[in-house]
């Protein structure tokens, strides 16, 4: 076990209660976009010191924390351009990086997979179908790709109709793929969509609209969705199985992005991208 270093990155800014939820906030990240929790660790993708999600500047990195939010390794994996959504399959951390899907061995930290996606503009999130297949969203083109990891090939699963904006966060649920959408130009509202993986039919789920980013299920089966809101006054929403929407009682957040719900600990992790912080909620 590696020694946990006391860094500014892991300092608790505040411990408070929002409604009946205990919250902790950790500062010192570099435009954190996505959180992924394994059985032991919390991984955070950092776009870099400048909040520029499309800059090929080689200053992005992945941080490794314990489940209490203490930093184990600030730049656990580094030298990436602008890493965003992540998933782990068979000990490999897959992460999207603008127009490339990369894979890193979690033990050695070495890159073991690299697949450019032709024509990609804004690769954003990953969902796992099985040990051989990933779904990858491209907010810029509106396409959700289906990636075969064994032969490093991909095909279009669906192209989201332009009136719904581009697919951002992804979440697989049985025979459905849920995506929340976002307009990179900041002009129109995104929606919560369900995609039937058998017939590829797309339906709108709930009345929630906005610049939507992250999506996860909580312990009760409610859908949690983050929205950037207006003027960086972002929020977290809960949607029940019938599509009813409720805003979660939290202070405004600047850039709540790709969330992760740790069902082992009943804990939600929210990267606040424009605040260089991570929020941990116990509920």
Reported as a single tens digit per residue, the pLDDT across 130-161 is 999 999 999 999 999 999 999 999 999 999 99
Per-residue pLDDT for 16 more than 60?
no
State how far the Cα of 116 lies from the Cα of 145, in Å rounded to an integer: 12
Per-residue pLDDT for 79 more than 70?
yes
pLDDT digits (tens, 9 = 90+) for 220-243: 999 999 999 999 999 999 999 999
pLDDT number for residue 29: 98
Q: What is the pTM of this model?
A: 0.93
- For residue 168 the two structure tokens come to 């951002």
Enumerate the β-bridge partners of residue 98: 123
The sign of the dihedral angle between the CA atoms of 46, 149, 158, 262 is negative
Nearest alpha carbon to residue 144 among 179, 108, 190, 196: 179
Question: Order of strands, edge to edge, in the sheet holding 32-37?
Answer: 32-37, 42-46, 60-65, 71-80
Cα 82–chain centre separation: 13
Per-residue pLDDT for 163 more than 70?
yes
Q: What residues contact residue 15 under an 8 Å CB cut-off, 6+ apart?
A: 22, 23, 24
């Amino acid at each position: 076990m590696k020694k946990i270093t006391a860094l500014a990155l892991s300092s608790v800014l505040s411990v408070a209660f929002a409604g009946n939820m205990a919250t902790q906030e950790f500062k010192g990240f570099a435009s954190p976009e996505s959180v992924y929790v394994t059985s032991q660790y919390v991984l955070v993708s950092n776009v870099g010191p400048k909040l520029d999600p499309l800059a090929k500047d080689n200053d992005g990195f992945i941080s490794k924390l314990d489940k209490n939010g203490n930093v184990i390794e600030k730049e656990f994996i580094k030298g990436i351009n602008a890493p965003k959504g992540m998933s782990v399959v068979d000990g490999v951390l897959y992460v999207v990086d603008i127009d490339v899907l990369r894979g890193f061995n979690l033990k050695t930290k070495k890159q073991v997979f690299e697949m450019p996606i032709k024509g990609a503009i804004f690769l954003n999130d990953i969902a796992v179908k099985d040990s051989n297949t990933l779904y990858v969203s491209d907010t810029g083109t509106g396409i959700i790709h289906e990636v075969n990891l064994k032969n490093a090939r991909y095909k279009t699963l669906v192209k989201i109709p332009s009136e719904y904006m581009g697919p951002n966060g992804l979440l697989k649920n049985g025979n459905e793929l849920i995506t929340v959408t976002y307009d990179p130009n900041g002009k129109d509202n995104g929606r919560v969509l369900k995609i039937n993986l058998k017939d590829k039919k797309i339906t709108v789920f709930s009345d929630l609209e906005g610049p939507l980013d992250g999506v996860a299920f909580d312990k009760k089966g409610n859908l949690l969705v983050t929205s950037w809101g207006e003027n960086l006054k972002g929020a977290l929403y809960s949607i029940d199985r019938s599509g009813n929407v409720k805003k979660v009682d939290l202070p405004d957040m600047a850039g709540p992005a790709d969330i992760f719900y740790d069902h082992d600990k009943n804990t939600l992790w929210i990267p606040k991208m424009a605040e260089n912080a991570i929020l941990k909620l116990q509920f």
